[in-house]
Amino acid sequence: MAAPSAPIPVALLGATGAVGQRFAQLLRDHPWFRLAEVVASPRSAGLPYGAALGRPESWWLDDEPDPLAAVGRAADLVLLDSTMHLESPLVFSALGASVAGPIESRLAANGHLVVSNARSHRMDPDVPIVVPEVNPQALELVHGQPSFARGRGAIVTNPNCTTAGLALALAPLREAFGLEAVYVFTMQALSGAGRAGLAPPRLANDLVPFIAGEEEKLLVETRKIFGDPQLAVGATCTRVPVVDGHTLVVSAKLAREVAKDDVVRAFTEFTGEPQRLGLPSAPVAPVHYHHEPDAPRPSRHRDLDRGMATHVGRLRPGMILDWNFVALTHNTRRGAAGGSILLAELAVERGLVGRG
């Protein structure tokens, strides 16, 4: 289908959190979507959105210090709580997993398409985890959701922010050569922990060698995205004192022997449905390959292509698995809010919005 004739009104759950703020920033000038409803906890309900964000302890986007400028006209919206009726056909969920599940299910049953950044429904068999360039066909899973079958709404999910970057980095290799095993060591940014990671005192001069549940999510989500329940995936996840940008050190075993030039070509030539469709949030190239010996780096590369690409470098033969490389992804843009918005654009193209 063509672009909507008028912007589609959308609602945002968890609007005052770190990922919710990133959603609002990215929706500010979106050509297809208009932020019409903002939802937060009962303690913030009734406040103008701009007033809630304007408190010094409430704003978390280091790259845009003025919250009113960041969210634009949405600053005048009055915050709702999650029990209130929503009018928008499309709902973005930046809720925490502890509360997201039943709220998202209720909204889908009431006719909304819910694009969720929470983990609550990711592993439901009829709920897709979608990286639009990697597995757009997974959107067909919504036909098995009871609410969708009744002509109502559905739930679709964005992967964990680390999984999103890993899937984009691995997809060119899997598509070109086949993929048998992967091991990843992560250095994850503070913003990946939300308020807990960004609130003072921030982590400094240290590294935390454990992130609860992260290694398990990388395993099960990567397998589901690639449709390969036997794919060997191992991970060690750490938190480092970088504000934005998850860096992954990846080792991959391919299904056949290939030359380095072929691997580089697979990265640079990889493209997907968002690029073919010209979706508004699609990066020019989903994977950028960097030849410099010290790339990719969060401070230099995370915001390139609007923060929507994965950046790969330091490709070299491995001593244990076939190839080693470093991948970097902006975790709150491509890995969270931006990835969810791109997924919603794909869902609009597939006719999944406004059915109920």
Verify whether residue 121 is a known catalytic residue. no
Q: Which of 112, 121, 237, 246 is catalytic?
A: 246
Q: 13: part of which helix (H) or strand (E)?
A: strand 8-13
Phi, psi of 333 (to 5 degrees): -90, -85
The residue among 28, 85, 115 whose CA lies nearest residue 348 is 115
Label residue 114 exposed, middle or buried (CB < 10 Å: 0-12, 13-18, 19+).
buried
Cα 193 versus chain centre, distance? 14
Signed CA dihedral, 295, 296, 301, 304: sign only? positive
The residue among 316, 311, 283 whose CA lies nearest residue 299 is 311
Verify whether residue 246 is a known catalytic residue. yes
| Residue environment code for 165-190, b if the CB has 16+ CB neighbours within 10 A, otherwise e | bbbbbbbbbbebbebbebbbebbbbb
Residue type present at position 39:
V
Strand ordering across the sheet containing 8-13: 80-81, 33-40, 8-13, 90-93, 113-116, 154-157
336: DSSP letter = I
| Residue environment code for 193-212, b if the CB has 16+ CB neighbours within 10 A, otherwise e | bbeebbeeeeeeeeeeeebe
The residue among 125, 113, 66, 116 whose CA lies nearest residue 93 is 116
Q: Which of 161, 237, 290, 330 is catalytic?
A: 161
Ordered DSSP codes for 40-108: E-TTTTTSBHHHHHHSGGG---TT---HHHHHGGGGGSBPEETTS----SEEEE---HHHHHHHHHHHH
Just list the catalytic residues.
161, 246
